[in-house]
Amino acid sequence: MQDEEQNDDIVIEQDGNEEIGTDEQEGDTTQKLREKLKIAVEEKQKYLDGWQRDKADFINSRKRDDEERKQLLKYAEANLISELIPALDAFDMAMNNKEAWEKADKNWRTGVEYIYSQISGTLQNHGLVKIDPKGEIFDPNHHHSVSIIETGRKDEDGKILEVVGYGYTLNGKVIREPQVKVGQYEI
């Protein structure tokens, strides 16, 4: 009974004219079966290797797509935020004009400051960070000089004395350099 079960698993191809029975013929059949088995194992390994490579490529592709999607979402709001920056500049100019600001009604100033803080807070929640380089050493790679201010103090030479327009970063990427006035020491 066991022999019959084992024979069900193995298929031996024979020509219609051959008869199995001699030791030589059985040896040839065994050799042929071993060769077929070797070929089948090699093919299986080839297909397995290809499948594993394809699976790894797919996983890597999915990771790249996910990273690209995250980057796209991260900077998708950049255009809208860039369009809102001039409004922040207008708020800054209004609030920094001390003479006109002090003449305005206190309740009106409080309302404007509240609106400004709401807009600023919302933009900060979306990754916008204000760059205020006042007092720093001027670096043309990070700042845009709009003018020079002559100064009699040697310690102010090359320093940013005024910020005309704040710079901004969005999620770590500079979207606008600060516009500054730089001190130049004159004797």
What DSSP letter does each residue of 105-148 carry, written as one string?
-HHHHHHHHHHHHHHHHHHHHTTEEEE--TTSBP-TTT-EEEEE
pLDDT of residue 173: 87
pLDDT recorded at residue 80 = 86
Q: What is the pLDDT of residue 7?
A: 43
54 belongs to a structural domain: no
User: Do the domain assignments include residue 119?
Assistant: yes
- What one-letter code names the amino acid at 81? I
Asked, for residue 160, whether it belongs to a domain, the answer is: yes
Residue 175 lies in a domain: yes
Angle in degrees, CA 117, 120, 125, rounded to 5: 120
177 CB neighbour count, 10 Å cutoff: 20
Q: What is the pLDDT of residue 105?
A: 92
Alpha-carbon distances, residue 174 vs 83, 121, 136, 142, 145 (angstroms)? 15, 18, 17, 9, 16
Question: In terms of C-beta density within 10 A (0-12 exposed, 13-18 middle, 19 or more buried), how is residue 147 classed?
Answer: exposed
Match 């080839």 to its residue by tokens.
Answer: 46
- Is 127 part of any domain? yes
- Structure tokens given for 2: 């066991």
- Residue 185's pLDDT is 87
**Would you write out the chain's pLDDT as a tens digit for each of its 187 residues?**
444 444 445 555 555 545 545 667 777 889 999 999 999 999 999 999 999 999 999 999 999 999 998 888 777 778 888 889 999 999 988 888 889 888 989 999 999 999 999 999 999 998 899 999 999 999 999 999 999 999 888 898 999 999 999 999 988 889 999 999 999 988 7
Closest by CA position to 130, among listed 96, 93, 168: 168
Looking at the structure of the chain, the number of domains it has is 1
Domain holding 142, by residue range, is: 77-185
Check if the beta carbon of residue 182 is closer than 8 Å to that of residue 164.
Answer: no
Question: Closest Cα to residue 176, out of 146, 144, 139, 135?
Answer: 144
Position 55 in a domain:
no
CATH number at residue 171: 2.30.22.10
> Is 0.95 surpassed by the pTM of this model?
no
